[in-house]
Amino acid sequence: MRYYFLEWVNDFEIMMLNSLAKDYPVMKINRIMRRYKSVNALMPGTLLKKWHKRFHCAVKLSAIKPDDIVICNGYSVFPFLDYIASMPCKKVLILRDSVVALTRKRRLLGQLKEDEDYIETVRPVFDVIFSFDSADCQRYSLAMIEQFLPFSLHEIQRLQKESKSENKRCFFVGGYEPIRAETLKILTPELENSGYKPDFYLLDKYNNHDSYPDNCQNKRLSYIENIDKVKHASVLLEINKPEQRGLTLRALEALIFNKKLITTNASIRSMDLYDPARIFIYNVDDLEGLQDFLQSPLPHVDEKLLSKYSADNLIMTLQKVNF
């Protein structure tokens, strides 16, 4: 049995798969629909176009056998969803965002009609659908999966040795949202009064927001650049989208690199990695206590938590699925 990850193309996803491939039979197949559109456009007639799509996918995915597990993610599966449905292998879908966000983005791309439901479109195709968001799991009857880092446990142990806080710096990276711009403006003087320098990257693709904070850089960071920033920061800041409730990569990065975390995710209080000495919940904890939080010592990192949230646990979760 092999694990085929289809269209996991983000740099942190590729990093994770390369890390796992050292210890497990993990394969990746990307750019599945490359050159499909240009050739398909030349095909006359609907039937021939459909045949060409099936033939194209069959060639790209020919290595997958019935005993293998195909793992798709919620963002990239739609262009070849109909072919996945016909494959005789074991099929898993992992949602790495909220159902609301996934629905909105698929509709904007024209992959989901206004009257179509995201979950009911993908549910018949997969043996199991996983989500990190407990509220989504309950609402849509999905299987819960723990958030996982893009590193194996061996890789985490190596990276921990490289972590160092060279200065009092608070690091944030994320896409533009009005709530993020507002929160960054409020927190900036609080951080500066405590002696921390903001290191904020707020990506605004259209550069047209009058409310864009003056102390942010409108720049995209690769995941490798992100990790380098995390290593050298003292504090990490995450500002979740309003509909987001699950555990994020930022919280796990704070754990493995032994950094303090300021977060807007109130649900983190009920999670096993929560420690008030490590995590400050904005709009829940008293903002007047932020300075004391920043100056207090960091607690010891529990090795069991590192194992639980490593990429190895993803493989272990897949091994337990009753297909």
The CA angle 207-226-27, to the nearest 5 degrees, is 110
pLDDT for residue 221: 93
CA-CA distance, 264 to 261, in Å (whole number)?
10
Same domain (yes/no): 222, 175: yes
pLDDT-derived band at 203, boundaries 50, 70, 90:
very high
CA-CA distance, 130 to 95, in Å (whole number)?
6
Q: What is the pLDDT of residues 281-303, one digit of tens each?
A: 999 999 999 999 999 999 888 88
Query: Would you call 311 helix, strand, or coil by DSSP?
Result: coil
pLDDT > 90: what percent of the chain?
Answer: 62
DSSP letters spanning 143-197 = EE-----SS-HHHHHHHHTT----S-EEEEEEE--HHHHHHHHHHHHHHHHTT-E
Whole-Å CA distances, 89 to 65, 82, 319: 6, 14, 15
Model-wide pTM > 0.85:
no
Instruction: For residues 12-39, give the mean pLDDT.
Output: 90
Asked if residue 313 belongs to a domain, the reply is: no
Asked if residue 186 belongs to a domain, the reply is: yes
Between the two ends of the chain, the Cα-to-Cα distance in Å is 13
Same domain (yes/no): 301, 171: yes
Instruction: For residues 254-279, give the mean pLDDT.
Output: 93
Out of 128, 145, 162, a domain closes at 145
Q: What is the pLDDT of residues 64-102, one digit of tens each?
A: 999 999 999 998 999 999 999 999 999 999 998 889 989
pLDDT for residue 166: 63
Pairing of strands 197-203, 260-263: unpaired
> Domain count of the chain?
2
pLDDT for residue 218: 92
State how far Cα 311 lies from the chain centre.
12
pLDDT-derived band at 237, boundaries 50, 70, 90:
very high
Q: Minimum mean pLDDT among 43-47, 87-91, 218-222: which range? A: 43-47
Same domain (yes/no): 101, 167: no
Asked if residue 322 belongs to a domain, the reply is: no
Q: How many residues does the chain have?
A: 323
What are the residue ranges of helices labelled H in the chain?
11-20, 36-40, 46-60, 81-86, 99-108, 118-122, 134-140, 153-160, 178-193, 223-232, 249-256, 290-295, 303-308, 312-319
pLDDT for residue 250: 92
CATH number, domain containing residue 102: 3.40.50.2000
Asked if residue 169 belongs to a domain, the reply is: yes
Same domain (yes/no): 163, 286: yes
Torsion on CA atoms 116, 248, 200, 105, rounded to nearest 10? -10
CA-CA distance, 194 to 166, in Å (whole number)?
16
Given a cut of 80, whether residue 317 has pLDDT beyond it is: yes
Same domain (yes/no): 93, 43: yes
pLDDT-derived band at 208, boundaries 50, 70, 90:
low
Same domain (yes/no): 163, 136: no
Instruction: For residues 131-156, give the mean pLDDT.
Output: 91
Quick check: 72 and 7 in contact, CB under 8 A? yes
Out of 118, 145, 172, a domain closes at 145
Same domain (yes/no): 125, 15: yes
Query: Would you call 300 helix, strand, or coil by DSSP?
Result: coil
Give, as one character, the DSSP assignment of residue 270.
G
Query: Would you call 117 helix, strand, or coil by DSSP?
Result: coil
Given a cut of 70, whether residue 63 has pLDDT beyond it is: yes
Instruction: For residues 180-200, give the mean pLDDT.
Output: 94
Domain housing 279? 153-308
Given a cut of 90, whether residue 191 has pLDDT beyond it is: yes
Residue type, 97: D
Given a cut of 80, whether residue 167 has pLDDT beyond it is: no
Same domain (yes/no): 126, 199: no
Given a cut of 70, whether residue 163 has pLDDT beyond it is: no
pLDDT for residue 107: 92
Q: Left if phi > 0, otherwise alpha if psi is -120 to 50, otherwise beta: which for 148?
A: beta
Half-sphere CA count of 207, side-chain side, radius 13 A = 4
Same domain (yes/no): 76, 217: no
- Strand-pair partners of 26: 3
Same domain (yes/no): 101, 168: no
CA-CA distance, 19 to 173, in Å (whole number)?
24
